[in-house]
Amino acid sequence: MIPLQMMTKIAKTALILIVTGMFMSCKENKTGALGDDNPLLATWDTPYGAPPFNLIKNEHYKPALTEAMRIHDAEIAAIANSHEKPDFKNTIQALEDSGQLLNRIYTVFNNLNTAETNEQMQLIAQEIAPEISKHNDNIYLNEKLFARVKQIWDNQLDLKLDSEDAKLLERKYKAFVRNGAGLPADKKERLRKINSELAVISLKFGDNVLADTNGYQLVIDNKDDLAGLPESVIAAAAEEAKAKGKEGKWVFTLQNASVMPFLQYADNRKLREDIWKAYQNRGNNGDTHDNRINIIQTANLRMERAQLLGYKTHADYVLEERMAQTPDKVYTLLNQIWEPALEKAKQEEADIQQLMKADKIEGPVQPYDWRYYTEKIRKSRYSLDEQELKPYFSLDGVRNGIFTVCDNLYGISFKQVTNVPVYHKDVTTWEVHDKDGTLLGLLYMDFFPREGKKGGAWMTSYRKQKTVDGKRIIPIISIVCNFTKPTANTPSLLTFDEASTFFHEFGHALHGLLSNVRYESLSGTSVPTDFVELPSQIMENWAAEPEVLTLYAKHYKTGAPLPAELTTKMQQAATFDQGFATVEYLAASYLDMDYHTITKPITQNVTPFEDEAMKKINLINSIIPRYRSTYFSHIFAGGYSAGYYSYIWSGVLDTDAFEAFKETSLFNKEKATSFRTNILERGFTADPAAMYRTFRGSDPSIIPLLKKRGLYHEVPTGANMKN
């Protein structure tokens, strides 16, 4: 699956703490005897102040979170009940500094509940979610506290704040307003109930998707049914079978690294259909993991909440704080790309239909046919076999290539360290240094699928960057992926899509690692979702450049570089199947917007709602949305509701930004320095559109994106995105 779907920190969970207090430093925490027995409350006497994963047990979470909320309540009460005249330091900065312990603990819990979860953790999450929701509401609905914040907001011109202080004040004030601080008492009470319900439903949704993903196995015991599959895929399936106690057989799962190669190569059409149906029916099987009711409840509650707060729809509420600003602007962008993408997808479908007829398969193209015949067309048209490429994209080789790109662009280097606690044996840790040797941050990397890890790929933070008393506190960043596992005979070999995903997530990591601001709540990836994908997606562009491929694409056995003829074939096939890729992505974006632009409660079932949404845009039957409703975790269990369009919005930004390098040189130091200082280091300390214009010198054009995807015919109306 292509990197546009990959998750980021803010897409992980709707429950990530809204309170923007800083992390507690290693020697600040004093919680008494309780902390002596609970590592989450005790001083973290670890390298870099990293979480002591080796000491944390499930039973530590709930008492630690309960105690941390109690401490935070006291901090908030001290601010709200202060007799001092409200000013920036005693109110706004005090709010920023509050909740350090709670933020630290809840961040660890949430991160592990996605990367290394278990049934007990999921139950704890469902128990604690309403308590966290209530805790947050108690802050934002605190009338005394809001009165102090509002007084500062109303008199900000007299304070002569610098730009970063002014931005922090704006974010704090808007957080109160957008969380109901100005509502009458009865509406505040209803808002509390909505928030509590949504917190629990979001968790249930994600847990159900994980359960259905883990619950399916396609077990093959007849070797003839493996026809068409590459030896590496067969070997991986044998390893999976052995791990599951089915030695001598082959097991395929719904993890992308397993199901997608099967759909791409397996000659057995019936088995492709079987695994495809299981994949696209996750959360939609009428059992205890069914998500259909969760979806309707979520969409309706979000609509009600938005209307309580004075907005027409949930999308209006969300987009007010995004670059897009309004639903109309989102639909305008989607519509500009939809028609040429659908036209290209129909041409691709016709090509597949011809091959199916040659194979004497009657009837229309089915979704489980698409990847299989597309691979045949790729081989025929471009003499390009993805299996030819994989030996040149070992995980270690791609990682080293990314390190080289980062060094060439920004002068930063990476050193593996082994003295840091990790939460799983597969996790590696790395120091990140600037060109002068300064330690920039600590990086975790976690690459392989397992039952306790949710699907997709994402970057997250265990500690965001901040500045305390003039000293930069280093961030602790993590990349989590689900790449092809190594086997007994070969290292982890990536498809080029997986290699691009690695580059993508590393772009997010750079956004966190290079952050250089004062306030944690404004640092790194704490930016609007339609801007947060710019640093990640621009990194993908380097992955495919011939000049860069020579640096890292080397055969894992011989060390030989990727042959020039394969590089040429990759370039020639760059826009191949982009109709399909763009259409399936856009279909999911339309579906997201349709759920979140409702003005009246949904009363029908999820299936007809989704069908009607797809009929509206004339989606062809051979393609389904990249995420069907019942496993659309980005929007129902993550932070991308009314925001899945963000990948294409940022796609406009990243392709336009990369032109700045293509026009000069791929490793133009001046451009790289400008991108670092104007984008990567600044977090949300300024307006994203203004930051982009400072870097690029103009508003972004949509044309580079259309050209990259092979969709450009003529200059579309409104080709430049302005805010």
Strands (E), 386-517: 413-417, 428-433, 439-446, 458-463, 466-468, 471-473, 476-480
696 token code pair: 């690029």
pLDDT of residue 715: 44
Q: What is the pLDDT of residues 4-47, one digit of tens each?
A: 333 333 333 333 333 333 222 233 334 444 556 899 999 999 99
Q: What is the pLDDT of residues 385-435, one digit of tens each?
A: 989 999 999 999 999 999 999 999 999 999 999 999 999 999 999 999 999
Cβ-based burial of 223 (10 A; exposed 0-12, middle 13-18, buried ≥19): exposed
For residue 582, pLDDT beyond 80: yes
List the strands of the sheet with 428-433, edge to edge. 413-417, 428-433, 439-446, 476-480, 458-463
Cβ-based burial of 435 (10 A; exposed 0-12, middle 13-18, buried ≥19): exposed
Query: pTM above 0.75?
Result: yes
Q: What is the DSSP letter of 560?
A: P
For residue 378, pLDDT beyond 90: yes
Tell me how many degrees the CA angle 400-404-407 measures, rounded to the nearest 5. Answer: 135
Active-site amino acid positions: 505
CA distance 109 to 64: 10
Span 695-707, average pLDDT:
95
CATH 1.10.10.10 fits 19-178, yes or no: no
643 token code pair: 């925001």
Q: What is the pLDDT of residues 224-255, one digit of tens each?
A: 999 999 999 999 999 999 999 999 999 999 99
CA distance 255 to 450: 9
- CA 706 from chain center: how many Å? 23
pLDDT of residue 443: 98
Tokens 């360290």 correspond to 417
**pLDDT bracket for residue 712 (50, 70, 90):** confident
Tokens 């917007």 correspond to 593
- For 127-168, give the secondary structure using H, E and C: HHHHHHHHHHHHHHCCHHHHHHHHHHHHCHHHCCCCHHHHHH
For residue 147, pLDDT beyond 80: yes
- CA 466 from chain center: how many Å? 22
pLDDT of residue 492: 96
* Residue % of the chain over a pLDDT of 90: 92
Span 288-313, average pLDDT:
98
Q: What is the pLDDT of residues 676-697, one digit of tens each?
A: 999 999 999 999 999 999 999 9
pLDDT of residue 12: 33
* Average pLDDT over the chain, rounded to an integer: 93
485 phi and psi angles, rounded to 5 deg: -75, 155
Q: What is the pLDDT of residues 59-117, one digit of tens each?
A: 999 999 999 999 999 999 999 999 999 999 999 999 999 999 999 999 999 999 999 99
* Residue % of the chain over a pLDDT of 70: 94
Span 359-381, average pLDDT:
96
pLDDT of residue 325: 97
pLDDT of residue 520: 98
pLDDT of residue 722: 55
Domain ranges of the chain: 19-178
Q: What is the pLDDT of residues 473-503, one digit of tens each?
A: 999 999 999 999 998 889 999 999 999 999 9
621 token code pair: 């039957």
pLDDT of residue 636: 98
CB 43 within 8 A of CB 29: yes
pLDDT of residue 488: 85
Higher pLDDT, 716 or 674: 674
Span 166-184, average pLDDT:
97
CA distance 283 to 292: 7
pLDDT of residue 225: 98
